[in-house]
Chains A and B, each alone.
Chain A
Amino acid sequence: MKKSEQGKTLIAAKAAGLVAWAAVMVFAGVAFRQHRAWKEPVVLGPGVTAVRSLHEWFAPLKGTENDCNVYVLDSGLPGSTILVLGGTHPEEPATNLAAELLVENAKPTSGKLLVAIHTNRSASTVTRPGEAYPQFYSIKTAWGQKKYRMGDRSANPLDSWPDPETYVHYPSGQMLAYMDIRNINRTWPGRPNGLLCERTSYGFMQMIRKEKVDLVIDYHEAELEYPVIGTIVAHQKAQEVAAMVSMDLSASQFRIGMEVSPRTLHGLTHREIGDFSDATALLFESPEPFLDRVRGATNEALLLTGVDEFVQRAGKAGLLYWPIDEKGWPIEVRVGRHIATTSKVFEVWNLLYPEKPIAVDGLPGYGDLAAKGVGAYFADPASVAKDRVAFE
C-alpha cells in the first residue's frame, strides 16, 4: 500500500472509530443521566405527619445529594422514638422498599417513627462498575409498575471524590478499604468536616441526639456466601430485644438468627450509634442471592425473585451460609422478613419498656406480604392530592 493510501486508511479508521465512540458515549451518557435524575414517588400514608430533610439537623448537608427525606410519623402521644434506615446500601432493594412500605402504611398510635428511605441517597444514583446491575427495577402494583433506581453499596464518586489511600475511621482509627469512605455503614458516627458519607452519618447522629431517638433499625440484605445473613445484629444495649425477637420469630414464622455487634468492628450502625448516643441499634439482614459472586446472569428477574441455578449449586456444594432452593428468595419474602421483624421488635420493646411504648397499626403480616406482594401496599401517586406525594 502506498503511503498516501495508508494515510487515508488511517484517517478513515480514526473517523469511523470516533463516530462509534460518540454513539456509545451518547447512549451511555443519556442512560446514566436518566438513572441519576429518576425520582421515585412516595405516597404519604395516614401516619405521616411531616416530611423533613436531613439538613434540618446538620445544615452543611443542604444541597448535597445526601440531604435525604426524613419521614415523621408522630402519634402525638408519648412513647419511644424509633428511627428506621432503608437504603443504607442501595444495592439491597428490600431495604428501601421495606422503609417505603412503612411510610405508606404505618400509623403509630403511641410514640413516634422516623424513616429514611434512602439513607445514602448518593449511592442510589449509581450502579457498581463491573457488576452489570440493571439500572432500574419495577414493582408490580394494582395500578401499574412502580419504577425504582437500583443503586450501589457506596456513594456516587460524582458526589465524593477522591477516596483516601487508606480510609482511617473516625474516631476509632481503624483502617478500612479506601472505597469504604463512601459506604455509609462504615462511617458512623461520622464527623462534621469529613467526606460526604462521614458528614451524612454525622447528620443522622445529630438527629438521633436531638430527637432523643431510643432505637435505630437499619435494614440490610446479604449474599448467601457471606456469614452474616438471616440475622439480627444488635448493639449490646439491645441484646435482650434481639434475642427475644429471634426466638419468637424462629419459633412462629421464619428462622432468624441473632448476634451481638463485635466491639472491635467500627463504623457500623449497630456499633457506633449505641456507643455514641443514648439510642441503641439493631441491624437486620435478609438473603439476596443477586449479590452472590457465583450468581448466573445478572438481571432484574434475579434481583426480584432471588432464583439462581448457580447459587443453588454452590449451596449443594456446601459453600453457602444460608439455604436456597428453586423458589429462591423473592423480594416480597425479603421485605416481609424486615417488616415482620420490625413489628416483632415493637412488640418485644413494649414488653421490656412499657413506660416508653411504641405501637404501630397498618403493617401487613409476613404471610400477607408474601402472598400479595410488596406492590399491594403501595398507593397510586396519581390518586392522591399532590401534597401527599414526596419524591426520593
Chain B
Amino acid sequence: MNQAVMLLYYATTAFFAAMMAWNFARAKDAQKALLYLVVLMPFVMRLLRLK
C-alpha cells in the first residue's frame, strides 16, 4: 500500500510538472517563464529520483 501511495505522489508531481512545462512553453512574459523553470527544479529532480 505504501508503495502504491508513493507512486501516486510521483504521478501527482508529474502532473503538476507537466502543467508547469506547458505554461512555460506558452508564457508570454520572460520573467514568468524563468520563474517556471526555477519552480520546476525540485519537481523534475524528484521525478528523476535524484533528490
Contact: B45 with A29, CB < 8 Å?
yes
Docked-complex contact B33 and A158, CB < 8 angstroms? no
**Would you call A24 an interface residue if the criterion is a C-beta within 8 Å of the partner chain's C-beta atoms?**
yes
Q: A24 to B51, Cβ gap below 8 A?
A: no
Residue of A nearest to B28 (CB): A10
Tell me the count of chain B residues lying within 8 A, CB to CB, of chain A: 21
Q: Are A161 and B41 in contact (CB under 8 A)?
A: no
Q: Give 9 A-B pairs besides A28-B51, A29-B51 with Cβ atoms closer than 8 angstroms.
A: A10-B27, A10-B29, A13-B30, A14-B24, A18-B37, A24-B41, A28-B41, A29-B50, A32-B51
User: Tally of A-B residue pairs with Cβ under 8 A?
Assistant: 48
Q: Is the CB of A162 within 8 A of B41?
A: no
A32 / chain B contacts, CB cutoff of 8 Å: 45, 50-51
Whole-angstrom distance between the Cβ of B51 and the nearest chain A Cβ: 5
Point out residues on A near B: beta carbons under 8 Å.
9-10, 13-14, 17-18, 21, 24-25, 28-29, 32-33, 126, 157-158, 161-162, 195
Known: A21-B37, A24-B41, A162-B5. A10 touches B30 (CB 8 A): yes
B15-46 with Cβ < 8 A to chain A? 24, 27-30, 33-34, 37, 40-41, 44-46
Contact of A162 (CB < 8 Å), options: B6, B28, B33, B45: B6
- 21 A-B pairs within 8 Å (CB atoms) are namely A9-B30, A10-B27, A10-B28, A13-B30, A13-B34, A14-B24, A17-B30, A17-B33, A17-B34, A17-B37, A24-B41, A28-B50, A29-B50, A29-B51, A32-B51, A33-B50, A126-B51, A158-B46, A158-B51, A162-B5, A162-B9
